Amino acid sequence: MKAILPFPPSKLNPNRSKGNHWGSTSRLAKQYRADCHTAAIAAGWRGLDVRGFDVLVAFHPPTNRKRDKDNLIAAFKHGQDGLCAAWGVDDSTLNDRISHVIREARRGGDVEIILTRSECDV
């Protein structure tokens, strides 16, 4: 199963948020969480039981510029919270079942979420 979420705003990148007022970053984070929540529900993922699934987060940046995966993961944190809210689970339940990759650039950028049956159902 797949769903497409918006690419995280650059101002949520930990290296870019320095010097910004916390209020503007907070508003942006809340909006991004809501956008990802809405996209997950639009994909039919409301209340989806994700136990027994591995979660792949594939970042498709808007340009071919080199990216630091750790910063993308941090910038996506609020999006992951919105995704998990749509599923109705705490994001800590994904700790052992989530992986992140950077893939080819796409116009506008996006985050592709791919669910696959887990090899070992813990």
pLDDT score, position 17: 54
117 vs 101, higher pLDDT: 101
Nearest CA to 93 among 59, 119, 55, 56? 55
Q: Are 60 and 109 in contact (CB under 8 A)?
A: yes
Q: Are 88 and 10 in contact (CB under 8 A)?
A: no
What are the two backbone dihedrals, phi and then psi, of residue 102, each rounded to the nearest 5 degrees?
-105, 125
pLDDT score, position 77: 95
- Report the CATH number of the 2-117 domain: 3.30.1330.70
Distance of CA 5 to the CA centre of its chain: 7
Q: Are 55 and 93 in contact (CB under 8 A)?
A: no
The four Cα atoms 110, 111, 114, 120 give a dihedral, to 10 degrees, of 170
Which residues have a Cβ under 8 Å from the Cβ of 35 and sit 6 or more positions away? 5, 6, 79, 82
pLDDT score, position 121: 55
pLDDT in tens, 8-34: 998 898 766 566 655 668 899 999 999
H or E element at residue 59: strand 53-60
